[in-house]
Structure 1
Amino acid sequence: MATSLPGDPIPADAAIQSLHDLCARLLAGPSATAVLEAWCRERGLTTTDLVAQVLPGPGTPVSPAQRERLELPRGAVVRYRRVRLACGRHVLSEAENWYVPGRLTPAMNHLLETSDTPFGRVVHPLGPKRRNLDLCLLAGAEAPGRLAPHDPLFTVAALLLRADGLPLCEVAETYTAAVLARD
């Protein structure tokens, strides 16, 4: 019986099954943070929490279509946060987040501005639910086990809604092949 070692290519069938499983979980889950934290624990990727490594640089302005999806009144403030979500040494995704600070508590806004806490964990007390807008498999998804860990695998666009249905944010997530790793 063959054993696999860290760094060995993931068998094709196993990689494709894992990819489909993760996509289904993200589409059904309440937040990407909750799904990824469970995913990492199941795959033995780390004993620490998921971390949002904030990426510096200019923000991307919210578009008129995003303002409409976020149900923003005229003049409402939107903040932008771009992060890499990492599980131990594995960078699982890069996410752009346009969020409405006026719909969060002051403590939540402070955490988002000063910490590496993922958005989904910060807003968890609000009972958020995801409304998926799009999931797109990228080139290489047909053979995900052959990709380098940093290669993009698929994208997801979604709204995160409060329990009362009011949008908190819109996210654009790009997941890397590192989501298929096992330690």
Structure 2
Amino acid sequence: MRLLFLPAVVAAMTVSCPSHAAAPASWPDTPVSRLQALAVLQTLNADLLSHDSATLTLDRWCSTHKLADGAKITAERVKDVDKPATGEIRAALKVADGDKVGYRRVRLKCGDRILSEADNWYVPARLTDDMNKVLDTTDGAFGRVVQPLHFQRHTISAELLWKPLPDGWEMGSVVPPASGDPLSVPEYVLQHKALLSVPDGTPISMVVETYRHDLLDFAPPKLDTN
């Protein structure tokens, strides 16, 4: 898995991430809980960075953290939304001016919990007819639909949208004291941008994945602090 440096593409694909106060009620607002939340987010971040399919990674997350019965990610396509590919995105996908670039926006859900929202630009001509039919007519997750292509994921950027602890906390910066309230977590906590390509290097998709606070909707780990 390779890290790509495409500043223009990153700028072109940046999406707004409003912060709505919300919290998994079982997480208390304490220094230890904040450290736990940071560790959990970084664990997920590393898992996403080390695997090609975000959908399959979320399958494991959903199951491991018992977020829903069945514990398998389902996709919910957002209809009536269209974001034409910019010139920078088309350049990254290596398509000519007249080539079609498809677009889908989906929510990846674990039961009733929305774990991520994804904007996906893809090249239909580089997929099979059956794959295109599924993408056009169903809510199927892109990663699951095109899995037979054995695609590879090349990360452009990975950004924590929420930092439970202040910068420099490990060097003695002041950490917020316990408040007695539930930990306030914004709606969006992590964002990845990536290019997906088949094994010969041909790109098939550009994706922006924005991960939500529902990822933390489980009881915080119990630590023995003695």
**TM-score normalized with structure 2 length:** 0.72
Aligned partners of 1:70 and 1:7: how far apart in 2?
Answer: 42
Aligned partners of 1:141 and 1:168: how far apart in 2?
Answer: 32
Q: Indicate whether 1:9 and 2:32 are aligned.
A: no
Q: Does the 8 A contact of 1:33 with 1:121 survive in 2?
A: yes
Deviation digits for residues 104-163 of structure 1, max 9, x if unmatched? 11111111112221100001000011101111211x3325x8245x70112111011112
Q: Does the 8 A contact of 1:31 with 1:160 survive in 2?
A: no
**Could you say which residue in structure 1 is the equivalent of 2:172?**
none
Aligned partners of 1:154 and 1:147: how far apart in 2?
Answer: 15
Q: Indicate whether 1:87 and 2:110 are aligned.
A: yes
Give the 3 Å change call, closer, same or farther, for CA 147–113 of structure 1 in structure 2: farther
**TM-score normalized with structure 1 length:** 0.88
Q: Does the 8 A contact of 2:63 with 2:72 survive in 1?
A: no
**Could you say which residue in structure 1 is the equivalent of 2:55?**
33
Equivalent residue runs for 1:15-26 within 5 Å: 15-26=37-48
Deviation digits for residues 50-75 of structure 1, max 9, x if unmatched? 11111122311101111111011231
Q: Does the 8 A contact of 1:62 with 1:98 survive in 2?
A: yes
Whichever structure has more strand as a proportion of its residues is 1
Q: Does the 8 A contact of 1:147 with 1:177 survive in 2?
A: no
Which residues of structure 1 form unaligned runs of 5+? 1-5
Q: Does the 8 A contact of 1:141 with 1:154 survive in 2?
A: no
Structure 1 counterpart of 2:183, from 130, 146, 153:
146
Q: How far is 1:48 from its partner?
A: 4.3
Give the secondary structure class of the aligned counterpart of 2:103: strand
**Could you say which residue in structure 2 is the equivalent of 1:107?**
130
Q: Indicate whether 1:170 and 2:196 are aligned.
A: no
| Cα-Cα RMSD | 1.8
Aligned partners of 1:120 and 1:102: how far apart in 2?
Answer: 17
Structure 1 counterpart of 2:77, from 33, 40, 54:
54
Aligned partners of 1:114 and 1:182: how far apart in 2?
Answer: 34
Q: Indicate whether 1:161 and 2:179 are aligned.
A: no
Q: Percent same amino acid among aligned pairs? A: 38
Aligned partners of 1:141 and 1:57: how far apart in 2?
Answer: 33
Give the secondary structure class of the aligned counterpart of 2:131: helix
Q: Does the 8 A contact of 2:37 with 2:164 survive in 1?
A: no
Q: Does the 8 A contact of 2:107 with 2:118 survive in 1?
A: yes
Supply the AA of the counterpart residue of 1:82: R
Aligned partners of 1:48 and 1:38: how far apart in 2?
Answer: 8
**Could you say which residue in structure 1 is the equivalent of 2:152?**
129
Aligned length: 175
Q: Does the 8 A contact of 1:129 with 1:162 survive in 2?
A: yes
